[in-house]
Structure 1
């Protein structure tokens, strides 16, 4: 019988694991502390490995540090699992059992490819509008919940996902609402109507460069997903760093684009387990790419600071905010974070939207001809004129509905008192996220939800049942500051291309291949889109 009962040191070690969970890890957010936690355990393991120390601590001979820590972790993770499954405040919400146990479930949900938004949609069809997708995370597909989670009066705040940029905290990753409101002012100035008018000729310059690249490939297959990335990144490189990345000229990926997409593919699966990212940044060798990128970013900011252009740009407005402050090391990191997100957020989402727009235009030749007629009827194709084109705007709106730039939605944390959505109560301090891909294709909100019908935004508004869920640029204080610039870029290049060319799929390009190439890495990244551009024949 005595051989069955564990010796007291084993029990004590397991008890310390339970105690660590109950008194520490059950409370607050620990994602950012992952490196310190790992170091602490390594220190304890090292100390206990000192000769005879384990015996001195436990009073038992041959008690190894490995055995002690193993028992500690059994107690720790046993307590975590039992609490999450049977006692957690989200235990009553349906969902996969594995999701209740670990956040890694959502990370490995798209096992074959990064298509989490599709997999989450399937799960919602099985479990309903409110589904537990993580130990303290709910995925919500209830259209009624939008104003409570994302609206201007919402009491939710940004979740730990937004800490992933530390120490570079941009306005996008700022979780404090007051701090966000203060820093947002510089962004609003950077994208004011006056600023946009100043940017118009620079956007047109890169649209012309894209047209030159297409002119060299008329009637030949061209991967427009790649070239739209070149276009959007060259625009934002100019408006932020004061110089283009020259991708439209060289036809080759610049360092930033190559690094960004490589890192997004490697880290994309772990957006629900954010404790992995701080570890990645701290572990030698693994963090080489990250450290190299940080040095590159700092160098670009320093170069741009010394070369102020004649006309203000996005960098100018962000720099003024920094220069007017105390200019502490923290301020400098925040400034660099803003510059970084200006290029990335202003490029990646625009590129994916353009790619998806031209996928839909190539799929809908009849509508495309109608759009070309509207384009032909506009004499002065200025920013203001393009913004008033009904069919063009409808095509963009419908593209963003079918292919939202942030398909899985934005992570939020509920306030301590929780959130009541009609008859559903969501407990406090829980992570919530609304999958925009599912919402925008919900039959309760849109008739024929999976069909590309731009006219639903013009003269077929009977196809819109609930427009309140349509928030492709976000809603409330955290909405996208660069929305109008993105629309300017999209309108400009779409009009320039369709004025000159007809568009169709290249041989071998299928709808299935295009959808399979899409990746959800917070923003939507498109795979190849092989198109043919042929000269339009005048009537």
Structure 2
């Protein structure tokens, strides 16, 4: 494990000689086809990333913004129906991005918010991630399981992902604005750049589900915790949101309204949540090149697996004052609390950085803004707020413990 800016730069930025070989990435594939996050060859990764980048272009994000608003309204309708009954915000923090992922990825409405419970696919996804986390550095059992038959939950997850892709193919490729549209466009072209086989799309479809759900769920879970714990945070958010509501579209917030310049405190709450409770925890390992690598004057032998953990960087006293305290103002009026901003990289760095980061921010902004604007909320009777951290699980991506809150509609 290396915890420094030098390590961060030499291991993750473009041009790094480090690779993803000999790690769990080797075993994450569908019928031998890696997804965007597990491609070993840098050239192949660049071609694949281009297709993904098209799916997250400014034009596409405009359509996804409408989907995000639809999902938020389903969340608000759910709160209305509960009439102030205690609810597990950590559960709904997973259902919200899951329903978003269905729309934005496949033009499917899962309806999990309305149902108020986990969709089976969400369960299969968590089991798959949990297996990776439990094995840690030992990746060969995964390959063995794939060779002799994976667990039922993992098989079911893959089957459902394939079924969703196949269902999307039943309609015209350009009929819906979603991520699959761009995957299928490349596949159906005369000379595909990256999607040369349907198994590649099936593999990337699983990455869409993983990246579009659990990471956002963790951030949203802890954001609700910090907001419910402290009424001052909610009050500051409402004061900031008041002149922004309906500014561009009558009776609505837009992503343009909620940008960093327009809503600095809202974005500071999101940034600080991602700093204190970053969902990627240790982050995936990298293998040093055969000739080895020098970091901070220390020689690391070749073929050595190395971690540069985001969570540890974000909570290091080397880079942040009061590192374990939630203080959104460090990103606005208290820059003195940030010793070196370069240590903050919630979406990773370099060519393997999160391709969907702008979409994730839209979902987080909308969910927080609409909820705070329409409801006041706090810990439910008997809830002391300790379980969300005490019972959280590192399953490759952080899963928050439960948190019971009550929501009351604002007049």
Superposition TM-score, scaled by structure 1 size: 0.71
Of 191, 209, 220, which aligns to 1:343? 209
Residues 328 and 146 (structure 1), Cα distance of their counterparts in 2 relative to 1, 3 Å cut: closer
Per-residue CA deviation, residues 200-250 of structure 1 (Å, 9 max, x unaligned), is: 111100110011111122422111111121111111111222211111122
Q: How does 1:403-414 map to 2 (within 5 A)?
A: 403-414=277-288
2:368 is aligned with 1:494: yes
Q: Distance in 1 between matches of 2:395 and 2:196?
A: 28
CA contact (8 A) 1:408 1:435 kept: yes
Matched, 1:164 2:27: yes
* C-alpha deviation, 1:444, in angstroms: 0.9
Write out aligned runs for 1:344-423 (5 A).
344-379=210-245, 380=247, 381-388=253-260, 389-423=263-297
> Out of 315, 318, 325, which is 2:183 matched to?
318
1:517/1:314 CA distance change after superposition, 3 Å: same
Q: Which residue of 2 aligns with 1:516?
A: 390
Q: Specify the SS of the correspondent of 2:386.
A: helix
Equivalent residue of 2:34, what SS? coil
The answer to whether 1:332 aligns with 2:198 is yes
- Paired residue for 2:155, among 291, 305, 317? 291
TM-score, normalising length: structure 2? 0.92
C-alpha contact 1:410 1:433 (8 A) present in aligned 2 = yes
Match of 2:341 in 1: 467
Q: 1:495 to 1:398 in 2, by over 3 A?
A: same
Does the aligned pair in 2 maintain the 1:348–1:523 contact within 8 Å?
A: yes
How far 1:363 moved relative to its partner?
2.1
Greater shift in the superposed pair: 220-229 or 295-304 = 295-304
2:49 matched to which residue of 1?
184
**Does the CA contact (< 8 Å) of 1:147 and 1:153 recur in 2?**
no
CA deviations on 1:154-197 (whole Å, 9 max, x unpaired) are 22122422123222411111121111111100111111111101
CA distance in 2, matches of 1:450, 1:141: 16
* Aligned counterpart for 1:204 among listed residues 69, 78, 85: 69
**Contact residue 268 and residue 328 of structure 2 kept, 8 A:** yes
Q: 2: distance between equivalents of 1:400 and 1:217?
A: 29
**What is the SS of the residue equivalent to 1:524?**
strand
Following TM superposition, by how much is the alpha carbon of 1:329 offset from its aligned partner in structure 2, in angstroms?
10
CA distance in 2, matches of 1:282, 1:255: 25
Residue number among 495, 501, 505 corresponding to 2:379 in the alignment: 505
Distance 1:175 1:509, change over 3 A: farther
- Deviation at 1:330? 6.9
Rounded to whole Å, the distance in 1 between the matches of 2:161 and 2:310 is 31
Return 5+ residue gaps in structure 1 as ranges: 1-138
Partner of 1:302: 166
Q: Which residue of 1 aligns with 2:79?
A: 214
Task: Give the C-alpha shift of residue 267 in structure 1.
Answer: 4.2
- How many residue pairs align between the two structures? 398
Partner Cα distance (1:392, 1:293) in 2: 35
The question of whether the paired residues in 2 share the 8 Å contact of 1:352 and 1:525 is answered with yes
Match of 1:45 in 2: none
Partner Cα distance (1:328, 1:496) in 2 = 38
1:169–1:333 CA contact under 8 A, matched in 2: no
SS class of match (2:381): coil
Three-state SS of the structure 1 residue aligned to 2:225 is helix
Task: Indicate conservation of the 8 Å contact 1:519/1:525, yes or no.
Answer: yes
C-alpha separation in 2, matches of 1:206 and 1:362: 21
Contact 2:259/2:267, CA 8 A, preserved across alignment: yes
Q: Report the aligned-residue RMSD.
A: 1.9
Describe how 1:403-482 pairs up with structure 2 within 5 A. Answer: 403-482=277-356
Asked if 2 retains the 8 angstrom alpha-carbon contact of 1:281 and 1:290, the reply is: no
8 Å Cα contact 1:375/1:499 also seen in 2:
yes
